[in-house]
């Protein structure tokens, strides 16, 4: 499949999953595989996500059907499933929008409170992770879903110079403009996680696997993630089958 085909397929699967009756929060015996990707700007989350979908489809098929890579375009779709206009996505960057702008928007009825919007997105992320067979990129998904078994939480990093070069190539811009974009996005993501979850996005203790994509191709990184997910599921099933005895 081409990236465009994967996106269209992902949108249709997301629609179907969010139309289903809301599933209860997972119990300890409920294990559904999913992956979260936290990333530095230019670390290659999109490339890894597209490599992972066919690999996980092959190795981790299940009743939920094909795996879905949930990037920002797919998260926009989650808003419409809550009967909220997709344009509200502009109020939900991985950063705080202007409090004055947000307050004015609420007062004149342009949108619900930012807290309510974030709750809706978090609810969709949590529901999809519970169903499983989904790759969630960004939006602090590793923190929202950390109580669910079966999840593998991955952080993607690379040197700033490499990420600037990749961003310049992707955007077709000069290196200084790419550097500004990289630095602004990284700071916005740090601020988003800190202000909404009181956590440090760069803290490695929140992740099961940290991959330096400067040293691994997207294909090789996908193999690492699949192997780690296999081990995570083995551990999760072992725990639910033979839970530790309290002392």
Per-residue pLDDT reduced to its tens digit, 219-239: 999 999 999 999 988 887 665
Q: What is the mean pLDDT of residues 5-16?
A: 49
CA distance 220 to 48: 9
**pLDDT at site 116:** 65
DSSP 55: H
What are the C-alpha distances in Å from 9 to residues 70, 125, 198? 11, 18, 35
Name the least confident of 15-29, 34-48, 136-150, 171-185. 15-29
Angle formed at CA 1 by CA 230 and CA 69, multiple of 5 degrees: 50
pLDDT at 206: 96
Grade residue 104 by pLDDT with cuts at 50, 70 and 90. very low
Quote the pTM value.
Answer: 0.76
Asked if the model's pLDDT at residue 181 lies above 90, the reply is yes
Radius of gyration of the chain (CA): 18
Structural domains of the chain in order of their starting residue, each with its CATH number: 3-14+28-229 (3.40.50.300)
100: number of Cβ within 10 Å: 8
pLDDT of residue 83: 54
Q: What is the pLDDT of residue 125?
A: 82
For the segment 198-213, what is each residue's pLDDT rounded down to a tens digit? 999 999 999 999 999 9
Helix/strand/coil (H/E/C) assignment for every residue in 157-201: ECCHHHHHHHHHHHHCCCHHHHHHHHHHHHHHHHHHHHHHHCCCC
Distance in Å from the first CA to the final CA of the chain: 52
User: What is the rounded CA–CA span in Å between residue 220 and residue 225?
Assistant: 9
């Amino acid at each position: 499949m081409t990236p465009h085909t994967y996106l269209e397929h992902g949108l249709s699967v997301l629609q179907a999953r969010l139309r289903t009756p809301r599933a209860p929060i997972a119990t300890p015996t409920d294990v559904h595989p999913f992956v979260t990707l936290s990333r530095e700007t230019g670390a290659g989350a999109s490339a890894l996500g597209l490599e992972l979908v066919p690999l996980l489809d092959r190795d981790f098929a299940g009743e939920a059907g094909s795996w879905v890579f949930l990037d920002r375009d797919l998260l926009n779709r989650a808003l419409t499933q809550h009967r909220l206009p997709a344009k509200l996505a502009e109020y939900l960057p991985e950063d705080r929008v202007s409090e004055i702008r947000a307050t004015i928007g609420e007062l004149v009825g342009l949108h619900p409170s930012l807290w309510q919007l974030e709750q809706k997105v978090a609810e969709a992320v949590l529901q999809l992770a519970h169903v499983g067979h989904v790759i969630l990129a960004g939006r602090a998904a590793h923190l929202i879903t950390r109580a669910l078994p079966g999840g593998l939480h991955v952080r993607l990093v690379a040197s700033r110079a490499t990420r600037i070069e990749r961003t310049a190539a992707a955007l077709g811009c000069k290196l200084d403009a790419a550097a500004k974009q990289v630095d602004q996005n990284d700071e916005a993501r740090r601020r988003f996680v800190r202000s909404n979850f009181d956590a440090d996005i760069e803290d490695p203790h929140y992740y099961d696997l940290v991959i330096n994509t400067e040293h691994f191709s997207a294909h090789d990184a996908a193999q690492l993630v699949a192997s780690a997910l296999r081990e995570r599921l083995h551990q999760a099933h072992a725990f639910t089958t033979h839970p530790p005895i309290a002392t």
